[in-house]
Chain A
Amino acid sequence: MTDCVDLTHGGGGRAMADLIRDLFHKHLGNPVLDRGDDAGLVTVAGQRLVMSTDGHVIAPLFFPGGDIGALSVHGTVNDLAMMGARPLYLTAGFILEEGFPLTDLERIVWSMASAAREADVQIIGGDTKVVERGNGDGVFITTTGLGVVADGVDLSARNVQAGQSVLVSGTMGDHGVAVLSKRENLTFETEILSDSAALHGLVAEMLAAVPTLTMLRDPTRGGLSATLNEIASTAGVGITLDEAHIPVAPDVAAACELLGLDPLNTANEGKLIAICPRRDAAALLEAMQTHPLGQQAAIIGETTTDPAHMVQMTTALGGTRIVDWLAGEQLPRIC
């Protein structure tokens, strides 16, 4: 590990995974945390509960298709949903920078309220802190969520085996590109919107249609590549993908070409990866495509036996390559 935190530690790549393992797990480890799921599953007084927390820092705070307020609700709701939970309650912590306009803050809070209403969760607690000008980037929001999981539902990468099907719920990279389009010095114009959305409704349909569903994960920071590599390494399997089957919106592909980015490394905030037994894949796909948030769902590959736990892909050209996770943050490039 390096001796000071740099931006790669937050990029969703291997540097972040190493930091979590070598520092957080080392000191804070316990059987629930060590499962490495998106949320912690515990049984309290006979009730299966999941809890998760998610800090939101994003620039710009308002982006096409969303803002930090809605994102802070969706992010935590989705962490709960990936456990197969019904999200119930959230709490929210605000770190505000001195000088931040109250009208912007109200827009953000209004957006949180509307996202919470749509997701049918209540925000039942909160905290507000103000830091001096220059010590924060406008607003940071941390949300913590609580949900309940039905008996018999056990979604975890640890349950994944070789020979299962891998699906995604829609196009990859929309959120990352929508946010980048408004970054200073990169400005380009597009109609691409962030896919920021709460996924628990989709998940409920999927679980109802295919109770054998093995695992769910939302490919946020680091995109599809990072999340699939995490899954492969947790589950101890390999994964093979077919590039031609991975949905990417044409405008997202175009923006990525311009900036030298890979849509598979680009963040999503309203998409999920699902793994299920191969014989149930068609039924799962149908259930997903019937839901508004899964219309462009696709079967993109399968899990394999691979002692090296690699994610490999047949390219659209017909060759093969590895799909590696990103080293640190994805930076636009010129070469």
Chain B
Amino acid sequence: MCLAIPAKVLTIEADDMAVVTVENVRKRISTALLDDVAVGDFLLIHVGYALHKLSEDEAAQTLSLMAAAGILQEELDEISAEASCVI
């Protein structure tokens, strides 16, 4: 449900409108549902409206948790490999 895509604010226009980009695709959208939109913000776009800002810090945090899932695993592998060497 609710296809919504993160896009970056390129310019801010009058009447609660802004131009956002995904890659080099530009689209005019409404920012009537948000306060304090600034150029460079990433916004979640749904049916031509920005619904929410994205938090870069939180995104980085989520990705690092996902990466950590792998690091821990590799460490475990190493530990068990070492253990089997000892035996």
Expressed in whole angstroms, the Cα–Cα distance for A260 and B5 within the complex equals 10
A254 touches B47 (CB 8 A): no
| Closest-CB distance, B33 to chain A (whole angstroms) | 15
| Closest-CB distance, A11 to chain B (whole angstroms) | 21
A335 within 8 A of B: yes
Known: A258-B45, A334-B46, A334-B47. A250 touches B2 (CB 8 A): no
Beta-carbon contacts of B2-17 to A below 8 Å, as 1s and 0s?
1101010000000000
A260 touches B3 (CB 8 A): yes
Contacts of A184 in B (CB 8 A): none
Known: A334-B46, A334-B47. A258 touches B2 (CB 8 A): no
Contacts of A251 in B (CB 8 A): 23-25
A258 touches B46 (CB 8 A): no
Q: Is the interface of B mostly helix, strand, loop or mixed?
A: strand
| Residue of B22, B26, B28 most packed against chain A (CB within 10 A) | B22
A189 touches B27 (CB 8 A): yes
A258 touches B24 (CB 8 A): no
A190 touches B46 (CB 8 A): no
Which residues A97-143 have CB closer than 8 A to chain B? Answer: none
Number of interface residues of A (CB under 8 A): 17
| Closest-CB distance, B11 to chain A (whole angstroms) | 12
Expressed in whole angstroms, the Cα–Cα distance for A251 and B26 within the complex equals 10
B60 within 8 A of A: no
| Closest-CB distance, B5 to chain A (whole angstroms) | 5
A190 touches B24 (CB 8 A): yes
Beta-carbon contacts of A243-260 to B below 8 Å, as 1s and 0s?
000000011011101101
B3 touches A334 (CB 8 A): yes
Expressed in whole angstroms, the Cα–Cα distance for A187 and B1 within the complex equals 23
Beta-carbon contacts of B25-37 to A below 8 Å, as 1s and 0s?
1111000000000
Q: Give the A-B contact count at a CB cut-off of 8 A.
A: 41
Which residues A157-199 have CB closer than 8 A to chain B? Answer: 187-192
| Closest-CB distance, A168 to chain B (whole angstroms) | 21
B47 touches A258 (CB 8 A): no
Partner of A335, one of B3, B24, B45: B3
A334 touches B25 (CB 8 A): no
A258 touches B25 (CB 8 A): yes
Contacts of A254 in B (CB 8 A): 22-25
Known: A260-B3, A333-B3, A335-B3. A188 touches B46 (CB 8 A): no
Known: A188-B27, A189-B27. A258 touches B22 (CB 8 A): yes
A257 touches B5 (CB 8 A): yes
Expressed in whole angstroms, the Cα–Cα distance for A260 and B24 within the complex equals 17
Expressed in whole angstroms, the Cα–Cα distance for A254 and B22 within the complex equals 6
| Closest-CB distance, A62 to chain B (whole angstroms) | 20
B24 touches A191 (CB 8 A): yes
B25 touches A190 (CB 8 A): yes
| Closest-CB distance, B49 to chain A (whole angstroms) | 11
Partner of B25, one of A255, A260, A333, A335: A255
| Closest-CB distance, A172 to chain B (whole angstroms) | 16
Contacts of A189 in B (CB 8 A): 25-27
Expressed in whole angstroms, the Cα–Cα distance for A75 and B57 within the complex equals 49
Contacts of B23 in A (CB 8 A): 250-251, 253-254
| Closest-CB distance, A181 to chain B (whole angstroms) | 8
| Closest-CB distance, A211 to chain B (whole angstroms) | 40
Expressed in whole angstroms, the Cα–Cα distance for A18 and B28 within the complex equals 40
Closest to A190 in B: B25
Sample of 11 more A-B contacts, CB < 8 Å, known A188-B27, A250-B23, A254-B22: A189-B26, A191-B24, A251-B23, A253-B23, A254-B23, A254-B25, A257-B5, A257-B22, A258-B22, A333-B3, A334-B47
The 3 closest A-B pairs by CB, nearest first: A254-B23, A254-B22, A189-B26
12 contacts between A and B (CB under 8 A): A187-B28, A188-B25, A190-B24, A192-B25, A250-B24, A251-B24, A253-B23, A257-B5, A258-B5, A258-B7, A258-B25, A334-B46
